[in-house]
Structure 1
Amino acid sequence: MLQALYGPAVPGLRAEFGLSPSGAGLGLSLHFAGGVAGVLAFNAIHSRISNRALLAASYGLMALGGAGFALAPDWPLALVAAFLGGLGFGGIDYGVNQLFAVGFGDRSTAMLNVLNAHFGIGAVLGPAVVAWLGPDAYAYAFGACAVLAAVLAPLGSSGVRTRPVEPSEKQRQPGSPGGGLPRVLVGFLALYILNVGVEAGVGGWEPTHLETVGYSATVAASATSVYWLMMTAGRFLVVPVTLKYSPERILTICAAGMTVCLLLARVKGVAPVAYAGVGLFIAPVFPTGLPWLNRALPQARRAGAWVIAASMIGGVAAPPLLGAGIEASGIHAVPWLLTALSAASLAATVWLIQLTRRFNE
C-alpha cells in the first residue's frame, strides 16, 4: 500500500512543493532505491540478528518514512523520508518472502503466492484511498500507513522463529567446481529482471497504448486496473495448482501464456482482455520462483535477496528503457517490445530448467 501511494499523490505533491512531473516522480524512485538498499543491507546482517528484529526494524523504518513523508516541510526532507520508508519496505520484502520460502516446507510455493496476493491487495487499496481522500490529502494516507507500520513493529513478528533457520549439511556444501552456481544465480537474476520488466512495462504503458489504438481514457484506465486486479487474483487462483505441479512447469506455462497474450494485444478488439491475461499469467512468477531458487541453490542461502533486489532494479529500469524504444519505434510497438521481453523470459526459464537439472544431478 505504501509503495502504491506515490503515483496517485503526484498532483498533490506538485501543488504542495511546486514540482515538475519528473521532480514529483523522484519520490517513488527514492522509495525503490531505498528498497534495493534495504534488501541488500538486511540480507547482509540477517545472520547476526534475529528474524523478529529484522521484521521489527523494517516496520519501524516504514513507520518513520511514512510519517516523515506526510509531515515533511520541504521536498528534500520528503525524499529522505521516502528513502527511509523504502529501506523498511526492502527489509519486509526480503524478510517475509525469505521466511515464507524456507518456513513452510512443501507448502512454500502455495504460501508465497498467498503472501504476494496480499501485497497486491495493498497495491490496489493504496490508489483507492488517495482517490477517496483526494490527491491534496495524500499526507493522511501516508500517515495511516505509518501508524499501521508502527503497530506492526512490536506485534508483526509474533509466531516467527527468533533465530534464522540453520542450513543443513547439504546446504553447507560449496557449489560445484564447474561454475554451475554462478550460472544458475545469473539465470534467476535474468528471469526476475525480465518478468518485472514485463510487469512494470504493461502497468506503465498499457493505458497509453490503448488510448492510441482508439479506446477512451476511461476504458484504458479501467483496463489497467483490471490488469493489476488479475495479478492479485492469479496468485490466489494458482495456490491449489502449486500443490500438484512443480514451480518449473508453472513458470514455463506462465511465460508461454504471457507471450501469447502480448501477441494478442496487437489486435485492437481484444487488447484489453489480452493485457488482463498477461496479469493472470505473470501473477505467480515472483512467488513461485523463490522456492525453486532455494531448492536449486541450497548452498546459497541468501540468493533470494539478490533476485528480490534484481526485481526492484527491473521495476526501476524497465519503464524508461521501454520509453526509449517507444520513442524510436512509436507507441504501436508497445506489444512487440513487451513480447520480446516475455519471449526472453520464456527462454530464460527453459534454460534454467536444463541448467538446474544438470547442476543438481
Structure 2
Amino acid sequence: MTTTREADLPEGGKPLLTTVAIVASCLAFAVIGALQALYGPAIPALRDEYGISPAVAGLSLSAHFVGALLGVLIYHLLRGRLNNRVLLGGSYVLMAAGAAVFAFSPSWALALAGTFVIGLGFGGIDYGLNRLFAIGFGHRSTAMLNLLNGHFGIGAIAGPALIGWLGADCYPEIFVGTGVISLLILVTLGGVAAREPVPAPAGDGLPGGTRVLPIIGVFIGIYVLHVAVETGVGGWEPTHLEAVGYGAATAATATSAYWAAMTIGRFVAVPISLRWSAPSILLVCCAGMAGFLLLAAVPALAPYAYFGVGLMIAPIFPTCLPWLNRAVPGVAGAGAYVIAASMIGGVAFPPLLGAVIGAVEVRAVPLLLFLLAVICGVLSLWLRRNAPDPGGVPGPREPARTDSVPTP
C-alpha cells in the first residue's frame, strides 16, 4: 500500500491511475512517439517494396495524422457512453491492428489504411492519457504531464535510431513490435479509473467578466501557434542552417539536438512546475521562444539558439492542459479542442510557412517564426490576466495538506 497526499488527488479523493498504470502510460507515450517518428526513416524501404515516389510514400504520415485527429474526436464523443478502460483498450487494440496491417500489407493502398488505423488508436491514447494526467494529480498534474510527454520524446528519438541500427528493411518487425507492446499494456488497464469525477458546472463568467468561450479560443490559439513554431523549426532548421553557411552534417546534427531539447525541456519542467504556476511558466516559455528565435537570425549563434527554442517550446503543451481544465472545469470538450487544434496546426502550418518562405527567402525563417512566438506571448499575457490559475501550485500561505490517505 502506498500513500498519496489529498492535494495530489483530483476532486473526489480517489486516484485515477495506480503506480503501475502510470508506468504503463509513460511506456505507451514512448510507443506513440516512436510510431510517429518511424514513417520518415521507413520511406526508402516503402519505396522499394511498393514502387512509389517519395511524395506518395510521405502520405503514410498524412494518413496517420488524419486518423489521429479523428481518434481524438471519436474518443471525446464516446466518453459519455464508454468508460476510460474501454476507450483506452480500444485505442491500444486499434494501434496494434493498424501496425500489423501496415507491416504485412501486400499493397500500398492497404498499407495506407493501416497507418490510418494506427492514427485512430494514436489519437485516442494521446487524448485519453493527456486528459487523465491533466485532472488526476491535483497540483502535480502539470509535472506529471511533462513527465508523460517527455516519454513521447524518448520514443521519437529511439524509433528512428532503431531503424538506423537494424536497417530500413526491418520496419515491419519494428512496427509489429510496437503493436505487441500496445497489447501488453492492456493488462494494466485495471489500474485506470473507469470514470473521472464529475466537474463542477461552468459559470457564465470568470474573474474580470471574461467568459468561457474566449478563454478556450485563446488556449487554442496558443496551441496552434506553438505547434506551428515547433514544426516550423523542425522542418526548416536544416535548410536555414545550410543557407547561412553550415554543412549538411552540421545542420542535421543541430536539428537532432533541437528535437532532443524538446524531450529534455519536459523533464526539466517537472520539478519547476511544482514551484511555479502555469501562467508564469507559459509566459517565460513564450518570451524565451521569441528571444531564441531572434538569436537564430544571427548565423554564428543559430545552431545553439535553435536548441534553446526546443527547450522553451517543450513545456507549453503539458503545462497549459491542466490550466485549461482548471480555468473551464465544466467544459468537458476543452481538452479535445486544443489537442485537435495542435494536430491541425502540425499539418496545416508547414505548407503555409513553405509558401511564405517561397515568397521571401529561407534566411527569414527565424524572423517569421519569431512573429508567431510574439503573438503566442501576447495571448499568454491575456490568459494570465483573464484566467488566473491559483490552483496550479500550493500558495506560500496555504501549503498543500500532508494528510496521508490510502491509495489502492
User: Same fold per TM (> 0.5)?
Assistant: yes
Q: Structure 1 unaligned segments of length 5 or more: list them.
A: none
Per-residue CA deviations over 1:14-45 (Å, capped at 9, x if unaligned) read 12112222211110011011111000110011
Per-residue CA deviations over 1:144-181 (Å, capped at 9, x if unaligned) read 111111222x22423111223222xxx22443397711
Residue 14 of structure 1: aligned partner: 47
Residue 31 of structure 2: aligned partner: none
Per-residue CA deviations over 1:123-145 (Å, capped at 9, x if unaligned) read 11111111112222221221111
For 1:58 and 1:175, locate their aligned partners in 2 and report how far apart those are by CA, in whole Å.
35
- 2:247 maps to 1:216: yes
| Cα RMSD, aligned residues only | 1.6
Q: Structure 2 unaligned segments of length 5 or more: list them.
A: 1-33, 392-408
The match for 1:23 among 21, 34, 56 is 56
Q: For the Cα contact (< 8 Å) 1:175–1:299, is it kept in 2?
A: no
Residue 75 of structure 1: aligned partner: 108
Residue 205 of structure 2: aligned partner: 176
Taking a change above 3 Å as real, the CA distance of residues 296 and 13 of structure 1, as seen in their structure-2 partners, is same
- 2:301 maps to 1:258: no
For 2:388 and 2:314, locate their aligned partners in 1 and report how far apart those are by CA, in whole Å.
25
SS of 1:7's equivalent in the other structure is: helix
**TM-score between both structures, scaled by the size of structure 1:** 0.95
- Residue identity opposite 1:16 in structure 2: E
| Count of residues in Structure 1 that have an aligned counterpart in Structure 2 | 355
- Residue identity opposite 2:195 in structure 1: R
Taking a change above 3 Å as real, the CA distance of residues 156 and 210 of structure 1, as seen in their structure-2 partners, is farther
For 1:273 and 1:40, locate their aligned partners in 2 and report how far apart those are by CA, in whole Å.
38
- 2:137 maps to 1:108: no
- 2:118 maps to 1:85: yes
**TM-score between both structures, scaled by the size of structure 2:** 0.84
Q: Any residues of structure 2 matched to 1:341-352 within 5 Å, and which?
A: 341-352=372-383
The match for 1:162 among 179, 191, 194 is 194
Taking a change above 3 Å as real, the CA distance of residues 132 and 75 of structure 1, as seen in their structure-2 partners, is same
SS of 1:172's equivalent in the other structure is: coil
Residue 193 of structure 1: aligned partner: 224
Displacement of 1:357 in angstroms is 4.4
- Residue identity opposite 2:189 in structure 1: S
Residue 141 of structure 1: aligned partner: 174
- Residue identity opposite 2:310 in structure 1: G
Per-residue CA deviations over 1:241-266 (Å, capped at 9, x if unaligned) read 11111100000000000001001001
Identity %: 54
Q: For the Cα contact (< 8 Å) 2:279–2:388, is it kept in 1?
A: no
For 1:120 and 1:175, locate their aligned partners in 2 and report how far apart those are by CA, in whole Å.
38
Per-residue CA deviations over 1:276-306 (Å, capped at 9, x if unaligned) read 0000011100000001101111121221011
For 1:328 and 1:62, locate their aligned partners in 2 and report how far apart those are by CA, in whole Å.
40
For 1:19 and 1:269, locate their aligned partners in 2 and report how far apart those are by CA, in whole Å.
40
Higher-helix-fraction structure: 1
SS of 1:238's equivalent in the other structure is: helix
- 2:96 maps to 1:96: no
Residue 82 of structure 2: aligned partner: 49
For 1:344 and 1:131, locate their aligned partners in 2 and report how far apart those are by CA, in whole Å.
38
